[in-house]
């Protein structure tokens, strides 16, 4: 109660002071009090308005980024593996293996089905890189490489005019692969 009575005393003191002022002074004090009140309200609302403008700008930026990501989703999904635009063939797995071996200019020595969707194959060629390319292409066709053994045979004969480069040192490359269909 004491707080209310002192507040009431302050209010009555201000009222009596204001009543003692000249009419022109009352207008100036009232206008000044209004300006101070508006300035107080503005300073209280200013941080909220700045934060709102900043959040609105951030929202617009994020919306732009999200739209860009949506536009790029097709590109990003193709980057999941290096099998860009390659469709898995609906032909039998042995046909896919045979065609892929031929496409890589390799010789298929043996192709045997070992079990449920598992194939053992032996191939031969002059370039080990073609064998690695074959392994990649088989993986793109949904055939996982379970085992890969590559061996190089032969070389330049003694006394020949060939250079001693690694490419001339190998005449034949053979590989044993075990592949399994995955889906």
CATH value at residue 124: 3.30.70.60
Mean pLDDT of 147-172: 62
Does 55 lie in the same domain as 10? yes
Domain count, the chain: 2
Mean pLDDT of 116-130: 89
Dump the DSSP string for 92-142. Answer: -HHHHHHHHHHHTT-EEEEEEEEETTEEEEEEEES-HHHHHHHHHHHHHTT
Query: Does some domain include residue 127?
Result: yes
Query: Does some domain include residue 162?
Result: no
Mean pLDDT of 13-40: 92
Report CA-CA distances (Å) from 162 to 157, 170, 173.
Answer: 9, 12, 19
What are the tens digits of pLDDT across the range 40-97? 999 999 999 999 999 999 999 999 989 988 888 777 665 556 675 566 667 788 888 8
Alpha helices in 20-113 (DSSP H): 23-78, 93-103
Question: Which residues, in sequence order, are CB contacts of 145 under 8 Å at separation 6+?
Answer: 135, 138, 139, 177, 178, 179
What is the pLDDT at residue 85? 57
Identify which has the larger pLDDT, 96 or 3. Answer: 96
Q: What does the DSSP 8-state code read for residue 162?
A: -
pTM exceeds 0.75, yes or no: no
Does 71 lie in the same domain as 6? yes
Does 102 lie in the same domain as 176? yes
Res. 26: pLDDT tops 70: yes
């Amino acid at each position: 109660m004491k707080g209310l009575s002192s507040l009431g005393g302050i209010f009555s003191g201000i009222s009596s002071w204001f009543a003692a002022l000249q009419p022109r002074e009352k207008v100036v004090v009232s206008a000044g009090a209004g300006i101070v009140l508006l300035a107080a309200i503005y300073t209280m609302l200013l941080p909220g308005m700045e934060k709102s403008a900043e959040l609105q700008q951030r929202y617009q930026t994020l919306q732009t980024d999200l739209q860009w990501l949506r536009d790029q989703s097709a590109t990003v999904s193709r980057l999941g593996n290096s099998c860009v635009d390659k469709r898995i063939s609906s032909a039998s797995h042995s046909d896919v293996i045979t065609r892929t071996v031929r496409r890589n200019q390799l010789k298929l020595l043996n192709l045997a089905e070992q079990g449920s969707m598992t194939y053992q194959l032996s191939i031969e060629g002059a370039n080990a890189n073609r064998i690695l390319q074959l392994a990649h292409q088989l993986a793109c066709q949904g055939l996982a490489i379970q085992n890969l053994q590559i061996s190089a045979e032969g070389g330049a004969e003694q006394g020949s005019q060939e250079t001693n480069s690694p490419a001339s040192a190998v005449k034949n490359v053979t590989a044993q692969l075990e592949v399994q269909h995955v889906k």
